[in-house]
C-alpha cells in the first residue's frame, strides 16, 4: 500500500460542481427568498424504508462528480457544494447554504470541515463542538424547530447563530460520521413532494464517503507511524544518525510542496525519504561503525545498499514509485551518479528531491569525525554550489525558496 492520504477517492465530488456552480448566478443568503428555518414539517419523521429517487441517476451523478480529494476535509467541502448543486438541479429543494460537521477523534468532538453558501463570518468563530452524549446524536433528519432535547440543542450549537444569521432549517445526520446543516429557501414556503427521499439518499451517500475517508486517514496515519518507527530503528544502528530519516522526510516534503506537487506525490516522496536508508540494513554494523577508511569491497557493499533497499520495497504492492526514488537517490544531475548514471530529467522526480533533502540533512547532522555544519554559510551554500552538477537546479531553487534563500 502506498502512503497517500485518500488520493483520488473514487466517490469524491468536484468537476461537476465547478461546472454547475461557477456558471450560476450568485445568491445572497436570505436576500430575495423566504427563509424557511421556522417551517414546521407536517410529517417531520422521515420514513427510513423510503427508497432513494432514481438510484441509477444518483449513482451516475456521483461518478460524474468524482475528482481528487486528499482527506476528510476535502471531501466535506466537496459534499457541501455537491448537495447544493444537486438540490438546485433537481428543483426539489433550494439550499442557500450548507455546513458539514465531521466527528474527529474518540471524545465526541465535531469540527466544521466543509461549507458552501453565504455565511456571516462572525458566526464561524467557533468551528468545534463536543457531543455531550450518545443520546445527543440525531438518528434521522429533522427540522430544527421540531427537534427536541439534546439533538436539537446540538443542532442549534452547530448552527453558527448570530444576530444576523437565522438558524439552519434542517439537520441531516450522515450515519455516525457527521452532520449536515441546511439553510433552505422557498419563494412560496412549499417544498416539492420528493424532498425526503432525496435528502435520505444524500445522507446515505455522505455517510459512505465520510466513513471511507476517515478509515483511510486512520490507516494512513498508522502506516506513516510504522514507517517512522522502522526508519528510527534503521538510523539507530549507527552512531550520530538518530532522527536522520525524519529530517530527510521533513525537508523532502517541504521541497515537494514548494514545487507545487500534488499531495499524493508529496506523500510518496515523504515516504521514500523515511525509508531512504532501508538498504543500510544490508550493510554490516562493523562497516557502518568503522572509524577508518573503507576498503574497496566495503565501499562496494555501501554503494549497492540503495539497490538492495529498493528491491525490498518494490516487493510490496503499490510501493514501486517509492522504490524508484530510493534506488536512484544517488544519481547525479550531470549523469555521473549511480547505479544507472541517469542524467537530468531522466532521474525520477522523487529521487531528485530526495538527493537535495538527504544532502542537506547529512551536512547539518552530527558525524563521528565532525559536528553539524552551519546552515547559513555552510550547508545551504554547499547545496547551492551543487546545483546543475550533482543536484537538479529546479529542486535546489525550490529548496532555497522554502528556506528563505535564493540562488
CATH number of the domain encompassing residue 250: 1.10.3210.10
- The larger pLDDT score, comparing residue 407 to residue 15, is at 407
Determine the average pLDDT of the residues in 38-67: 40
Do 89 and 160 fall into the same domain?
Answer: yes
Which cell goes with 134?
A: 450518545
Confidence of residue 46 (pLDDT cuts 50, 70, 90): very low
Looking at the predicted structure, is the pLDDT value of residue 301 above 80?
Answer: yes
Position 308 in a domain = yes
Do 299 and 369 fall into the same domain?
Answer: yes
Position 127 in a domain = yes
Do 136 and 259 fall into the same domain?
Answer: no
Domain boundary among 149, 180, 214: 214
- The larger pLDDT score, comparing residue 239 to residue 50, is at 239
Position 86 in a domain = yes
Nearest-CA neighbor of 110 among 10, 202, 183, 210? 210
pLDDT at residue 346, as a whole number: 97
Find the range with the poorest average confidence among 43-52, 245-254, 361-370.
43-52
Three-state secondary structure along the chain?
CCCCCCCCCCCCECHHHHHHHHCCCCCCCCCCCEECCCCCCCCCCCCCCCCCCCHHHHHHHHHHCECCCCCHHHHHHHHHHHHHHHHHHHCCCEEEEEEEEEEECCCCEEEEEEEEECCCHHHHCCCEEECCCHHHCCCCCEEHHHCCHHHHHHHHHHCCCCCCCCCCCEEEEECCCEEEEEEEEECCCCCCCCHHHHHHHHHHHHHHHHHHHHHHHHHHHHHHHHHHHHHHHHHCCCCCCCCHHHHHHHHHHHHHHHCCCCHHHHHHHHHHHHCCCHHHHHCCHHHHCCCCCCCHHHHHHHHCHHHHHHHHHHCCCCCHHHHHHHHCCCCCCCCCCCCCCCCHHHCCHHHHHHHHHHHHHHHCCCECCECCCCHHHHHHHHHHHCECCCECHHHHHHHHHHCCCCC
CA distance 162 to 153: 15
CATH number of the domain encompassing residue 33: 3.30.450.40
Position 228 in a domain = no
Q: Give residues with Cβ within 8 angstroms of 208, minimum separation 6.
A: 11
Position 272 in a domain = yes
Q: Which domain holds residue 272?
A: 236-402
Do 166 and 65 fall into the same domain?
Answer: yes
CA distance 14 to 119: 21
pLDDT at residue 370, as a whole number: 67
Q: 93, 83 in Cβ contact below 8 A?
A: no
Domain boundary among 184, 214, 244: 214
Q: The cell 469524491 sits on which residue?
A: 12
Determine the average pLDDT of the residues in 241-260: 95
- Helices 320-327 and 349-363 sit at what angle, rounded to 10 degrees? 50
pLDDT, tens only, 270-296: 999 999 999 999 998 888 888 788 888
Do 314 and 187 fall into the same domain?
Answer: no
pLDDT at residue 91, as a whole number: 75
Do 200 and 246 fall into the same domain?
Answer: no
Looking at the predicted structure, is the pLDDT value of residue 344 above 60?
Answer: yes
pLDDT at residue 355, as a whole number: 97
Do 277 and 388 fall into the same domain?
Answer: yes
Q: What is the mean pLDDT of the chain?
A: 76
pLDDT at residue 21, as a whole number: 29
Do 337 and 369 fall into the same domain?
Answer: yes
Position 374 in a domain = yes
- Measured over the CA atoms of residue 366, residue 370, residue 375 and residue 380, the dihedral's sign is negative
pLDDT at residue 105, as a whole number: 61
Looking at the predicted structure, is the pLDDT value of residue 258 above 90?
Answer: yes
Do 30 and 155 fall into the same domain?
Answer: yes
Domain boundary among 183, 214, 245: 214
Determine the average pLDDT of the residues in 311-334: 94
Find the range with the poorest average confidence among 160-169, 197-206, 229-238, 313-322.
160-169
Position 10 in a domain = no
Looking at the predicted structure, is the pLDDT value of residue 111 above 60?
Answer: yes
Do 112 and 159 fall into the same domain?
Answer: yes
Confidence of residue 251 (pLDDT cuts 50, 70, 90): very high
Do 201 and 346 fall into the same domain?
Answer: no
Find the range with the poorest average confidence among 25-34, 241-250, 252-261, 369-378.
25-34
pLDDT at residue 207, as a whole number: 85
pLDDT at residue 77, as a whole number: 82
Count up the domains in the chain and report the number.
Answer: 2
pLDDT at residue 24, as a whole number: 31
CA distance 189 to 38: 10
Position 194 in a domain = yes
pLDDT, tens only, 189-234: 567 777 888 888 888 888 887 887 788 778 888 888 999 999 999 9
Do 281 and 245 fall into the same domain?
Answer: yes
Q: 228, 260 in Cβ contact below 8 A?
A: no
Amino acid at each position: 500500500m502506498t502512503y497517500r492520504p485518500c488520493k483520488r477517492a473514487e466517490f469524491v465530488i468536484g468537476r461537476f460542481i465547478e461546472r454547475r456552480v461557477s456558471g450560476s448566478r450568485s445568491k445572497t443568503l436570505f436576500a430575495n427568498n423566504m427563509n424557511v428555518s421556522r417551517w414546521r414539517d407536517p410529517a417531520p419523521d422521515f420514513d427510513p424504508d423510503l427508497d432513494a429517487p432514481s438510484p441509477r441517476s444518483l449513482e451516475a451523478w456521483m461518478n460524474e462528480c468524482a475528482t481528487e480529494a486528499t482527506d476528510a476535509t476535502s471531501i466535506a467541502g466537496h459534499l457541501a457544494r455537491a448537495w447544493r448543486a444537486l438540490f438546485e438541479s433537481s428543483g426539489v429543494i433550494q439550499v442557500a447554504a450548507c455546513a458539514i460537521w465531521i466527528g474527529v477523534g474518540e471524545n465526541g468532538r465535531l469540527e466544521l470541515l466543509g461549507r458552501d453558501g453565504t455565511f456571516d463570518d462572525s458566526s464561524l468563530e467557533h468551528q468545534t463542538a463536543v457531543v455531550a452524549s450518545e443520546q445527543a446524536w440525531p438518528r434521522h433528519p429533522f427540522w430544527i424547530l421540531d427537534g427536541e432535547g439534546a439533538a436539537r440543542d446540538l443542532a442549534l450549537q452547530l448552527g453558527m447563530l448570530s444576530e444576523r444569521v437565522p438558524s439552519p432549517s434542517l439537520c441531516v445526520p450522515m450515519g455516525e460520521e457527521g452532520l449536515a446543516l441546511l439553510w433552505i429557501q422557498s419563494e412560496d414556503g412549499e417544498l416539492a413532494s420528493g424532498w425526503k427521499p432525496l435528502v435520505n439518499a444524500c445522507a446515505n451517500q455522505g455517510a459512505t464517503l465520510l466513513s471511507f475517508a476517515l478509515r483511510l486517514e486512520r490507516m494512513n496515519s498508522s502506516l506513516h507511524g510504522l514507517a517512522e518507527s522502522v526508519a528510527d530503528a534503521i538510523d539507530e544502528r549507527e552512531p550520530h544518525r538518530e532522527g536522520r530519516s525524519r529530517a530527510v522526510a521533513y525537508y523532502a516534503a517541504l521541497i515537494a510542496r514548494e514545487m507545487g506537487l500534488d499531495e499524493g506525490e508529496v506523500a510518496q516522496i515523504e515516504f521514500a525519504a523515511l525509508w531512504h536508508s532501508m538498504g543500510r540494513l544490508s550493510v554490516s554494523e562493523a562497516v557502518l561503525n568503522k572509524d577508518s577508511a573503507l576498503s574497496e569491497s566495503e565501499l562496494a557493499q555501501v554503494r549497492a545498499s540503495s539497490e538492495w533497499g529498493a528491491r525490498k520495497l518494490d516487493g510490496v504492492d503499490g510501493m514501486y514509485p517509492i522504490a524508484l526514488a530510493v534506488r536512484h537517490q544517488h544519481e547525479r544531475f550531470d549523469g555521473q551518479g549511480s547505479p544507472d548514471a541517469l542524467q537530468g530529467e531522466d532521474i525520477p522526480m522523487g529521487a531528485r528531491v530526495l538527493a537535495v533533502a538527504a544532502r542537506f540533512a547529512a551536512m547539518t547532522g552530527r558525524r563521528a569525525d565532525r559536528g553539524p555544519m552551519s546552515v547559513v554559510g555552510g550547508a545551504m551554500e554547499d547545496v547551492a554550489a551543487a546545483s546543475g552538477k550533482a543536484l537538479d537546479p529546479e529542486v535546489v531553487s525550490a529548496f532555497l525558496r522554502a528556506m528563505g534563500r535564493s540562488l
